[in-house]
Amino acid sequence: GPKVLQIPSHQIIDMGQMVTLNCDPVSNHLYFYWYKQILGQQMEFLVNFYNGKVMEKSKLFKDQFSVERPDGSYFTLKIQPTALEDSAVYFCASSLAGSQNTLYFGAGTRLSVL
Amino acid sequence: GEKVEQHESTLSVREGDSAVINCTYTDTASSYFPWYKQEAGKSLHFVIDIRSNVDRKQSQRLIVLLDKKAKRFSLHITATQPEDSAIYFCAASTGYQNFYFGKGTSLTVIP
């Protein structure tokens, strides 16, 4: 089936550093999402993105977070600076036509902030 | 905003029995309800969905029921097998941009 690729699978960084998480969504998909999962439990919505713009973001999407997809390349989540509570698994997802369509998830990036 | 409650955090059943996972939602505008499965250490993948124009949908051993009046939907896994063991997430969407997920139910199928 359609695949969403996330790079890297695991990232370890020191608190205060910048990190960029990369996502290669399904090629013809138009909507992109980031979710945060802590301890294998709750999937917390962070942000969604369409047509070059953030459409909706949650309270978890702090000012230190930003997303972009320059020229149809990777859809990225940047955290600058990182904090200890940012440690989690971040899942990227994409869908063809928004939230009435199936979300396809990547394998996740495990971020460890020390 | 929408809140999705997933009532069972853990569930154990014997192989061959049925498993039922229940979710409720708050936003009457929600119209699309997918279910996702997450196996240990892996990502989520889609298993089945239901839209608000029907109240029942079946795909092989999976049945989803939707009660719009009660704002409740459920996943029924019949004739469970050990490979059904995973965390199951329900979600709801109003049809705009976002999906709201429940907290997940960890299902264990005992051989």
What's the gap in Å between the CA of A50 and the closest CA on chain B? 9
Contacts for B28-31: CB closer than 8 Å, 24+ residues apart: B28/B71, B29/B94, B29/B95, B30/B2, B30/B71, B30/B92, B30/B93, B30/B94, B31/A100, B31/B93, B31/B94, B31/B95
Q: Is B32 on the interface with A (CB under 8 A)?
A: yes
Q: Does A40 have pLDDT greater than 70?
A: no
To the nearest whole number, what is the mean pLDDT of chain B? Answer: 93
Q: Please report the pLDDT score of residue B19 as a whole number.
A: 98
pLDDT digits (tens, 9 = 90+) for A57-83: 989 999 999 999 987 789 999 999 999
pLDDT over 90, % of chain A: 69
Q: Please report the pLDDT score of residue A99 as a whole number.
A: 63
pLDDT digits (tens, 9 = 90+) for B10-66: 999 999 999 999 999 999 989 999 999 999 888 899 999 999 999 999 999 999 999
Q: Is B103 on the interface with A (CB under 8 A)?
A: yes
Residue type, B41: G
Q: Is A41 on the interface with B (CB under 8 A)?
A: yes
Rounded-to-integer distance, Cα B39 and Cα B52, Å: 28
Rounded-to-integer distance, Cα B73 and Cα B68, Å: 8
A with B: how many residue pairs have Cβ under 8 Å apart?
62
